[in-house]
Chain A
Amino acid sequence: MPSNKSVSDAPITQFINCRILRDNELQREDLWVREGRILDPEKLFFDEQGYADKRVDCGGSIIAPGFIDVQINGGYGIDFSQASEDVSDGVSFVAKKILEHGVTSFCPTLVTSPPEVYHKVLPQVKVHDGGPHGAGVLGFHLEGPFISAEKKGAHPEKYLRTFKSGGLEHLMEVYGSLDDVAIVTLAPELPGSQSVVRELSQRGITVSLGEHRSQLLLVSESVSVQPGRFHALSNPSVSAVVQFHHRDPGIVGLLTSDRIPAGRVVYYGMIADGIHTNPAALRIAHRAHPSGLVLVTDAITAMGLPPGRHTLGQQVIEIQGLHAYVAGTKTLSGSIATMDMCVRHFKQVSGCSVQEALEAASLHPAQLLGISPKKGKLDYGSDADLVLLDEGLNVKATYISGEEVWRKGQ
């Protein structure tokens, strides 16, 4: 049936026989798409007297907004923090592969590195839309080097920095450019951080608190000084979340702090791979502050590689199931779970609903970055970045701007 051409010539696709995630629930509704965005079928009917050109039978699948991974360090042998000549190719390679996990947008993440690395890598990748070539790049996530030495975790200590006088200029010296940066993770207890946080926020960059053992008061001050948007994202590979002392509740206390200005939401990232975050911590965080929970993979270079030994840069990694060890040891070298695995595991461990599990990987990261409802939702006008899932939340197909970019079995 042809579409009426009074408003637009563009073809209209109708997804039928599906359940869509909308208004925080799974609704038994058809999903209409035109020109890469979700379309209001009632308006189409009455205003344009239009109907669908193409119907896609989803066989009862769940349709959720495409997943958004805001913390991913690499995968499939690619390390985003490597200062190579073809960073762009590496990012594109990973971008294409993660479509299989239902990820339609992501923030390539760089761990603490010397300035030369940032100066080389950052200019090579621009923010760009996704498509059949791969998931969209929302901007870099720069995790470090302005983080605390006390809780450095896996970040190389020699490259950690503090803010010298002139906070933001120093930051710019280190990074070179902030043009295509979406998130910066820094430690709020470093002197000079307040003004840096303010400046970054004014540029629309999301600031995240990481790798620290701040006192709650210090952290809250950082939150309340913010004009514009501010979101806290605790580095999930650190046990900061489980540090909860009754006189210093740490990050867990921040989630429920009364010093957070009204209307502001604190978001926190969690890796739900079953290894890096204690299931109890996941449950506590989810129950304390469910609407702020953002699932991230924090995936390392070894993600997506088959079991066995792999030489990645200076390291030899051994993959056994979902564990990636420094070869010959039982030291974890990072997480290799994919985003869809994290969604399934999170649901199972926290006992949350399907809607909550899906929102943690789509709506919440979009809200964190301030790109909702364009991304992360299936509202009329939202980008038609979709993931089709079965009952068990396994990815069956991925769409970007209404176009199928991956299907299982092909």
Chain B
Amino acid sequence: MKLIILNDYDQASEWAAKYIRNKILQFSPGPNKYFTLGLPTGSTPLGCYKKLIEYYKNGDLSFQYVKTFNMDEYVGLPRDHPESYHSFMWNNFFKHIDIKAENTHILDGNTADLQAECDSFEKKITAAGGIQLFVGGIGPDGHIAFNEPGSSLVSRTRVKTLAKDTIMANARFFDGDLSKVPTMALTVGVGTVMDAKEVMILITGAHKAFALYKAIEEGVNHMWTVSAFQQHPQTIFVCDEDATLELRVKTVKYFKGMMHVHNKLVESPPSEPKKN
């Protein structure tokens, strides 16, 4: 694992965005070679999305040959509801960049056969050649996507009932009314994310600190599903100072000491003559 520690939310967002940018550029996507990106929703990745939009607007990055797969979507929430993950992705990312609609994939929580939708999603990922880089966040209870505590660490895309903690955490997006928050969601499994070539987890804020501690300093445990990535060959955790508050000083010092090496990964690519 690489643990990247930045001073604050903005710096963490920028580091993550630069990393994604560089990965895409190095891959050199084209019409026969799409870069596949797994994407999260929520407040944590907002800063990262803003930065990626900036890089697109500056002409440094194009999403023309990028395919995206979102992690999850609520069940039973109308697609045009302002809190659906479709709306989130449209308003915070898709509408600002040059991605083609047919290259975006978000689970449909309103189909008649939810499990068939999940199976179909898995097939689409396989058909796209697997995911190059899966970006995710972590819940206060250590979950990745909606893989709540107790989820199998080899699970695939499926329907999940949301934990009380998650519903409460989401209530703020539904006028604080718990009865309005959806209770079920479709989510990629832990196993689905583990299949990706590389996984990047964004963790910011003191309220996530305990979950980060459980994820990287304790054992692999299905009660803290993000811990599964200890067994992935290419994981990178990007966090701010506040998120490290529950870690051992030794861990933090070790990884901070490596920042000069890790920062090479986000250097601006050598400037090329801009293609017209």
Interface residues of A (CB under 8 A from B): 4, 30, 40-43, 45-46, 48-51
| A50 cross-chain contacts in B, Cβ below 8 A | 101
Residue in B90, B91, B100 whose CB lies within 8 Å of A46: B90
**List of A residues within 8 angstroms of B90 by Cβ:** 41-42, 45-46
Q: In the assembled complex, which residues on chain B have CB atoms less than 8 Å from the CB atom of A48? A: 101
A49: chain B residues at CB < 8 Å are 100-102
Can you list, as one digit per residue, whether each of B69-99 has a CB less than 8 Å from chain A (1) or not (0)?
Answer: 0000000000110000011001100110000
Find out whether the CB atom of A45 lies under 8 angstroms from the CB atom of B101. Answer: yes
Could you jot down 15 A-B contacts, CB within 8 Å? A4-B101, A42-B80, A42-B87, A42-B90, A42-B95, A45-B90, A45-B95, A46-B86, A46-B101, A49-B100, A49-B101, A49-B102, A50-B101, A51-B100, A51-B101
Nearest CB of B to A171, in Å:
47
Neighbouring A residues of B94 by C-beta, 8 Å = 45
CB distance from B50 to the nearest CB of A (A): 14
Inter-chain contacts of A45 with B (CB < 8 A): 90, 94-95, 101
Most B CB atoms within 10 A — which of A40, A42, A49, A50?
Answer: A42
B interface, CB within 8 angstroms of A: 79-80, 86-87, 90-91, 94-95, 100-102
User: In whole angstroms, how far apart are the Cα atoms of A43 and B101 in the complex?
Assistant: 11
What residue in chain A is nearest B101 (Cβ atoms)?
Answer: A49
Query: How far apart sit A167 and B151, CA to CA, in the bound complex (Å)?
Result: 78
Cβ distance A45 to chain B, nearest Cβ, rounded Å: 5
| Distance in angstroms between the alpha carbons of A46 and B86 in the assembled complex | 8
Q: In the bound complex, what is the Cα–Cα distance between A50 and B90 (angstroms)?
A: 13
Partner of B80, one of A4, A30, A43, A51: A43
Closest to A49 in B: B101
Give A4 to B95 CA distance when docked, in angstroms: 16
What residues of B have a CB within 8 angstroms of the CB of A46 in the complex?
79, 86, 90, 101
- The chain B residue with its CB closest to the CB of A4 is B101
In the bound complex, what is the Cα–Cα distance between A48 and B101 (angstroms)? 8
With the chains together, A133 CA to B100 CA distance in Å? 38
Contact A41 B95 (CB under 8 A): yes
Q: Which residues of A lie under 8 Å from residue B79 when comparing CB positions?
A: 46
Return the chain A residue nearest B108 by Cβ: A46
Contacts of B102 in A (CB 8 A): 49
Within the assembled complex, what's the spacing in Å between the Cα atoms of A30 and B101?
A: 17
CB-based closest 7 A-B pairs? A49-B101, A42-B90, A45-B101, A49-B102, A46-B86, A45-B90, A45-B94
> Given the complex of chains A and B, what is the CA–CA distance between A42 and B80 in angstroms?
8
- Report B172 CB to chain A, min CB distance, Å: 21
Query: In the complex, how many angstroms separate the beta carbon of B106 from the nearest chain A beta carbon?
Result: 8
Output the least CB separation between A56 and chain B (Å). 17
Report the separation of the CA atoms of residues A48 and B102 in the bound assembly, to the nearest whole angstrom: 9
Q: Would you give the shortest CB distance from A381 to chain B, in whole angstroms?
A: 13
CB-CB under 8 A from B80, the residues of chain A are 40, 42-43
How far in angstroms is the closest Cβ of chain A from B62?
Answer: 13
CA distance A4 to B101 in the complex (A): 10
Give Cα A42 to B101, complex, Å.
Answer: 10
Extra pairs beyond A42-B87, A49-B101 (19, CB < 8 Å): A4-B101, A40-B80, A41-B90, A41-B95, A42-B80, A42-B86, A42-B95, A43-B80, A45-B90, A45-B94, A45-B101, A46-B79, A46-B90, A48-B101, A49-B100, A49-B102, A50-B101, A51-B100, A51-B101
CB distance from A175 to the nearest CB of B (A): 46
A41 to B86, CA, bound (A): 13
A268 CB → nearest B CB, Å: 35
Q: In the complex, A51 Cα to B64 Cα: how many Å?
A: 13
Distance in Å: Cβ of B69 to nearest Cβ of chain A: 15
| Min C-beta distance of A44 to chain B, whole Å | 8
CB of B44, distance to nearest CB on chain A (Å):
23
CB neighbours of A40 from chain B (8 A)? 80
- Residue among A30, A40, A41, A45 having the largest count of chain B Cβ atoms under 10 Å: A45
A42: B residues at CB distance < 8 A? 80, 86-87, 90-91, 95
Interchain CA distance A43-B91 in the complex, whole Å:
12
**A339→B79 CA distance, assembly (Å):** 41
Please report the C-alpha to C-alpha distance between residue A191 and residue B9 in the assembled complex, in whole angstroms: 73
Most buried by A among B86, B87, B94, B101: B101
